[in-house]
Amino acid sequence: MSRWRLDGQRALVTGGTRGIGAAVVDELRGLDATVLTVARTNADVCADISEDGAAELVISAACEKLGGLDILVNNVGTNVRKSTLALSDPEIETVLTTNLTAALGFCKAAQPMLAESRGCIVNIGSVAGNVAIGTGVAYAMSKAALDQLTRYLAVEWAGAGVRVNSVNPFYTRTPLAQPVLDDPERLARVLANTPLGRIAEPEDIAAAVAFLCLPAARHITGQCLAVDGGFLARGSYVT
């Protein structure tokens, strides 16, 4: 098999029906992987991944359809964009459960199949896990912890042959980010803080995800790759 192809690889992409997840599905299929999606609506497997027991049910349904699993992309993410004092406990719980606890549950449920295939996991994090960018504290906490989940499982599961990495975008043109991108002042601030001077398209993120899944990336694990147009590198650079 070519180290730049995914022929015969079986993948599950959570939240693969729109935005970044849909672009990841297209990218993996373009490399000849067989890909299933899970979302609450319009997916190959319909489920709310934040519910108790969802991970086991979804992974088992997906593995039955695919005959095993080589790639898991934990892409589902949600946000309640409010200041800390305005966030209710149920809102915080929803964000942490959907973005973090569910991802861990999917990793655990998929591990035996991934160990069998010597497969990999890619988590979709965010640069909001590195620095405060006004996303709301629950989202920022969930993405920071997701990075550590990535690093921890990468080390713990390396011996089982399972690689674990993250791809961490800055603002990307999807329905989730649309309220920010529709506000001209906030859009201008995002662009001013992005050295490459553009908003990411979903396929920019998907390309990095696909790379990390390739045989060519076999020595890469435990990495959290920012795909952010240079946002994190810029810091407080003043010209």
Ligand X SMILES: NC(=O)c1ccc[n+]([C@@H]2O[C@H](COP(=O)([O-])OP(=O)(O)OC[C@H]3O[C@@H](n4cnc5c(N)ncnc54)[C@H](OP(=O)(O)O)[C@@H]3O)[C@@H](O)[C@H]2O)c1
Concerning whether 139 is annotated as a catalytic residue, the answer is yes
Q: How far is the CB of 116 from ligand X (least distance, A)?
A: 25
Judged by CB under 6 A, the stretch of 25-33, 41-49, 61-69, 206-214 that binds ligand X is 41-49
| CB-nearer residue toward ligand X: 150 or 172 | 172
Q: Are 21 and 73 in contact (CB under 8 A)?
A: yes
> From the list 6, 21, 69, 165, which residue makes contact with ligand X (rule: CB under 6 A)?
21
**DSSP labels for 28-84?**
HHHTT-EEEEEESSSSSEE--TTSTTHHHHHHHHHHHHHTS-SEEEE---------G
Render 88-116 in DSSP notation, one character per residue.
Answer: -HHHHHHHHIIIIIHHHHHHHHHHHHHHH
* Minimum separation from the CB atom of position 132 to ligand X (A): 14
Contact 16, 75 (CB under 8 A): yes
Q: Is 40 among the residues that bind ligand X (CB under 6 A)? A: yes
Q: Which CB sits closer to ligand X, 66 or 124? A: 124
In single-letter form, the type of residue at position 56 comes to: E
DSSP 25: H
Closer residue to ligand X (CB): 50 or 193: 50
Residue 15 sits in the site that holds ligand X (CB under 6 A)? yes
Round to whole Å and give the CA distance between 155 and 51: 28
Per the document, the length of the chain is 239
Q: Rounded to a whole number, what is the distance in angstroms from the first to the last CA of the chain?
A: 48
Which residue among 6, 12, 20, 100 contacts ligand X (CB under 6 A)? 20
Among 11, 27, 45, 50, binds ligand X (CB under 6 A): 50
Binding-site size, ligand X (CB under 6 A): 26
Binding site for ligand X (CB under 6 A): 15, 17-21, 39-41, 48-50, 75-78, 98, 124, 126, 169, 171-172, 174-177
- Which residues are known catalytic residues? 139
